[in-house]
A and B are shown apart, each in its own frame.
Chain A
């Protein structure tokens, strides 16, 4: 989704978006996160985050005229929601506090990690979420969601322990439980007994209609 322009001039853009990311639609398949680095008059220079064909990310330089930027830029602050961090599921929520500048930065996001200690086990104790900064920034502009069946398969194969299904939903596993749990925002509200069904815990029946309409999967109450 391309968020609309919320500044009036190139000068304002450089001022309000310093030290933060915007999204640039430079190709057709994805949006590139880009950090403004300066420029003069109507020109703005960027460091653009690209996916490397060999894995990981690379930075490239790009200069855009203000009038061209308006066409390709996603301004404002995108909502992160459910994302995958190092194979795990996390929910990134935002605050309605005053920001002196605009654009996306991970510093303004509060992360709820599901089953986080396993991530620590895999990557080492004390590893901060922010170590996956580029992954998170990429997902803020290019969210990737799986169907329940697809997520179930990925979890079963051991490829990951958490998979986003929607900006507010995800599935994650725990070692001592047979089936993946259904996460809604910061909370665990149910589980998936197979690839085509969801069970919602009895305290969360009110969400069943929303789960059903969002995830298009057979939903029952416990």
Chain B
């Protein structure tokens, strides 16, 4: 007996549309992109398996060499379908001997369309706090790759992220669409690519080098989904997120955000230092510079005593005689992108505090109420949680996986 679909030339539906416990967020949509080199002519067996063309489309990728090709989800997937698609492509790529080179990466898109603005901002802050640990876990020297630059290395990307965060605030108050424009201008080679907000309503994580280790890739997607999940349970105030990170040992904080299993993989004995010396200062730059609704410098901040600095006078006295400078310019001459901010950063001005009342309007949305509830739950978690009984093992990242 034939199936109707095959009689009509209409293959039956291969998607399950079912949630899956493989993922931290079983129903959350993701997008995956796998880059490979050496894809001269995709072998027929790729297309004989109906799962590949159902879930994946291929396109040539100019940033790669040697017949570089990108496999991209046809549409965003969730749950069982996302896992099946991933598993099928990895199996096929191993069989086809596609090359995982230095240039090839796996990019994960996280759907953020249903998130509230405070949650998106929370996601960015949380990510920035743990970014150095993520790069350590990802390994493969990706921290130094020009295709996925960390916020803590590229200040200008952080500045662009700040502009997006400000735009989110602005749009919320003014019912405008400036976020879209800001996101469109975001340099898309930052490891956390916010440019994707304007294209797909997603944020793209570009960190991972292409590999065929299903557990490693699944963990990566789950780390990303954990960040999203955490923004629903964390306090909505950006300053409060920073305080949570600052006041807890790294293992307790990571357990709260990622769960014990993933936290143990991200943690190492230097985790506290990385969070406090790299992650938190970078997140602070973002919070103080971007999340204040008023400008960074809007009042008195550094009141230094006035008086002549003798060393400065000596420095100038030793200078060769030149024409007196004309009236002090507001900005230095533009030199290949260089600019001066000395005037902007004149003393006697102050940033507003990140936890200012402007973040907490009088009427609270259900989501904000959820935030308050989350704060109570967070307090309970941290008050009741003693450090894990079993000692955490300090292993280098690669020890969890055999990456092919």
Contacts and interface: CB of A to CB of B under 8 A. Distances in A.
Sort chain A's interface into a size bin: 35 or more
A41 B302 CA distance: 58
Given A96-B189, A113-B340, A191 B304 contact: yes
B303 A222 contact: yes
B312 A161 contact: yes
Contacts of B6: none
Nearest to A75: B144
Interface in A169-222: 173-181, 185-191, 193, 201-204, 206-207, 209-210, 213-214, 222
B305 A120 contact: no
Residues of B contacting A: mostly: loop
Contacts of B146: 6, 76-77, 98-99, 102
Contact of A207 (B155, B284, B332, B350): B284
A116 B342 contact: yes
Given A93-B156, A113-B342, A178-B307, A204 B301 contact: yes
B24 interface: no
B10 interface: no
B7 interface: no
A27 interface: no
Contacts of B281: 168, 207, 210
B315 A159 contact: yes
A178 B306 CA distance: 6
B347 interface: yes
B335 A178 contact: no
Contact of A94 (B156, B318, B353): B156
B157 interface: yes
A192 to B, nearest CB: 9
A188 B348 CA distance: 10
Nearest to B307: A178
Contact of A122 (B322, B332, B337): B322
A124 B189 CA distance: 38
A110 B308 contact: no
Contacts of A118: 312, 315-316
Contacts of B354: 206
Interface of A: 3-4, 6-8, 75-77, 79, 87, 93-99, 102, 106-107, 109-118, 120-126, 128-130, 155-161, 168, 173-181, 185-191, 193, 201-204, 206-207, 209-210, 213-214, 222
Q: What are the 5 A-B residue pairs with the smallest beta carbon separation, nearest first?
A: A158-B314, A96-B157, A201-B302, A93-B155, A96-B190
23 contacts: A6-B145, A93-B156, A94-B155, A96-B191, A97-B187, A98-B146, A111-B335, A113-B342, A121-B325, A126-B333, A128-B335, A130-B335, A155-B311, A156-B311, A158-B311, A160-B315, A161-B311, A173-B311, A175-B312, A178-B309, A185-B155, A186-B341, A189-B301
